[in-house]
Every structure is written in structure tokens, then in C-alpha cells.
Amino acid sequence: MFNPDLLPLWLRFFLGMVAFWVVFLTIVFRLEKRTVSPYGNLESTPSFADPTGYAARWVADALQAGFVLLGWAGDVRGSVYQCSYALLVSGDRTTFMVISVGTIMKIPMQGTWLHTPAMDGRSFNTTDKQAGVQIDLSGNWTNQLAIVSRFSQLLQKHRDWLQSLNVLPRGFTPNREFAEFKELRDQHFRSMERVGLIRFTDASATQFYYTFPGAAKTATWSYLVGVIRGLSQGSFPRSA
């Protein structure tokens, strides 16, 4: 019979830490009520100041790369989430961009996501921050973590990744980009519901909880992917 006492002390400590975080994250995933779309109405300016200058730099770089700024959206989840989101779309309308800045429970947050929907109904997104990775075990969304310091690098990594996967992009309709992006999120969470990962709180399907199996599976995979990507600087696994 296997005796754990025979394992080296460092390995027992490591496995204990993994078990602790997986259990802790499973509880958090299971108990936290989440919102399908945190974005409020579009405005011309951000709701909160960004003393880091992150959003201003990345918006300017995106505009230079041919993206169009649709506007800024506040976070509708309450006063704890003092976040502003810059929403942009690429010149060819195949990629929707979200830049988030602000604080959550007074903890500074910033990050960028590039979303490209595919003709087959799936969606592919690249983010520059590990905290922004969204694991979807239903297979509807696939993500890439690209730890970079400039928007041009993030965009190039996103395009190279899509090309390596032979993704055929499905463009957004002019003047309906924001509405279609929210529909994209709706489809994403509907896909997760169909395979039993989440359950919506009511018929409007605007908020949800993870089921216990969904929380356990998602928390475990999210933690392991995060650790491996942290050790590999985001290079492995490239897609998750």
C-alpha cells in the first residue's frame, strides 16, 4: 500500500498546497454569484480615474493599430467593483477588445482581452493578465495568456495564435458590435449551463452560480493551468 510518508518533505508540502488551493477555490467558485455581463451603458469617458495610465496607453496604441473606440462602460455589479471598461473593435470587425481598469474591493485591477468569434460558434480570447483568464470546460471559449508589456505585442500574439489554430473569424455587424459581444457572452454561459457547469439564478439568465461539479472541475483546471503558465511565463499550455 502506498505510504505518503515515503515522499520527500518538499513534495508533500507542494501536494498539500495544491490540495488546499483547489479546495479553497472550489468553495469560492461554488458560493460566488456571478454576472453574465458586467458592462453598463456606453459613455464617452471612464467612470473612474486610472492613475496608472494603463488604459490611456493601450487605447492610444489600439487606435493607432486601426481599432475603433466604441465607448466606456461602467461596472454594474455594485460599489465594490469600481471598474471602467474601454470597448473597442478592430478595423476589420473580427476582434472585440476590452480594457479593464479600476479596483475590486479596493484592490487595483487592470487587463486587456481580445475576443474573436469563429464561424463554427466558438470564441477565442487572448489576455495579458493571469487574473483575467476565463476557463470554459464546455469548449465554447478557448483562451491564451500572453504576458506582454505593449498592445502591439498582444495583438500580434492573438493573430498568430488564431492562424496556428486555423480559426475562421466571424465578423461583428457594424453599429451592433457591443450588442453582439454581449450576445457572445450569453452564448458562452448558455454553453456552460448545457453541460452542467453552472446554473442561472432566474429565467432572465443574467446571474449564475457554479454547480458543485462545475466548481470543482473549473477550480482544479484553472489552478493547475495558472501554476503551469506561471512557471512557463504563459507559453504552456498555449490554449486552455
Find how far residue 118's CA is from the centre of its chain.
Answer: 17
Contact between residue 131 and residue 109 where contact means Cβ atoms under 8 Å apart = yes
- Please write the tens of the pLDDT for every residue from 42-56: 999 998 889 899 999
Cell numbers at residue 140, please?
A: 465554447
Cell numbers at residue 78, please?
A: 455594485
pLDDT of amino acid 123: 98
With CA atoms as reference, report the closest residue to 118 among 212, 44, 187, 52.
187
pLDDT of amino acid 11: 80
Helix (H) or strand (E) holding 128: none
Contact between residue 74 and residue 47 where contact means Cβ atoms under 8 Å apart = yes
Which residue ranges of the chain lie beneath pLDDT 70? 1-7
Domain regions of the chain by residue span = 4-231
With CA atoms as reference, report the closest residue to 67 among 75, 76, 59.
59
pLDDT of amino acid 6: 61
pLDDT of amino acid 5: 63
